[in-house]
């Protein structure tokens, strides 16, 4: 799990393989968990993300860290999670825009619980995030394609 912080605000992103031992090794698709609390707004959700999306996201993070311009975005196909790292100016400041959707009962009604927020992060946090284990795996182009 990686935790971005800015004073009392935080965004956690945890990336891992399927829980089912049977599925490990058959796929490089990953489970992504997002949990945040920013200025009184909080949200959490989990979703499975395709290996091809993770590969694109990992490569975009490396580009963003190297060039300090642009963005890296991860969006679940059913919009249950959205996580974007982006440059917010020309001098190296970055922000995170995240959205989560979780479903729960309100009385007898099954309803989506949506939350979204923005948080500025320091450049050092982006550098540290770019060194996460899964980024190394997904930026080696032959790993994902061999399992596809």
**Hunting for tokens 């890296």 — which residue is that?**
72
- Expressed as residue numbers, the domain containing 91 is 2-147
Q: Nearest 5 degrees, angle CA 43-CA 21-CA 2? A: 35
The CATH number linked to 81 is 2.30.31
**CA distances from residue 23 to 27, 123, 147 in whole angstroms, order as listed:** 7, 36, 13
Alpha carbons 45 and 125: distance in angstroms, whole number? 22
State how far the Cα of 105 lies from the Cα of 40, in Å rounded to an integer.
Answer: 22
CA 23/CA 86 separation, integer angstroms: 33
How many domains would you assign to the chain? 1
pLDDT tens digits in sequence order for the chain, 148 residues long: 999 999 999 999 999 875 555 554 455 678 999 999 999 889 999 999 988 999 999 999 999 999 999 999 999 888 889 999 999 988 889 999 999 998 888 889 999 889 999 999 999 999 999 999 999 988 885 454 444 4
Distance CA 92, CA 67 (A): 9
- Reported pTM: 0.83
The answer to whether 134 and 62 are in contact (CB under 8 A) is no
């Amino acid at each position: 799990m990686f935790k971005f912080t800015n004073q009392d605000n935080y965004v956690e992103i945890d990336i891992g393989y399927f829980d089912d031992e049977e599925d490990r090794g058959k796929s490089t698709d990953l489970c992504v968990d997002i949990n945040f609390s920013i200025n009184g707004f909080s949200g959490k959700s989990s979703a499975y993300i395709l290996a091809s999306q993770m590969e694109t996201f990992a490569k975009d993070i490396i580009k963003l860290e190297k060039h300090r311009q642009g963005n890296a975005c991860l969006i679940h196909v059913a919009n249950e999670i959205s996580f974007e790292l982006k440059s917010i100016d020309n001098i190296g400041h970055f922000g995170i825009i995240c959205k989560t959707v979780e479903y729960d009962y309100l009385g007898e009604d099954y309803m989506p619980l949506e939350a979204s927020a923005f948080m500025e992060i320091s450049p050092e946090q982006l550098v540290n995030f770019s060194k996460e284990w899964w980024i190394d795996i997904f930026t080696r182009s032959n790993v994902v394609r061999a399992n596809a």
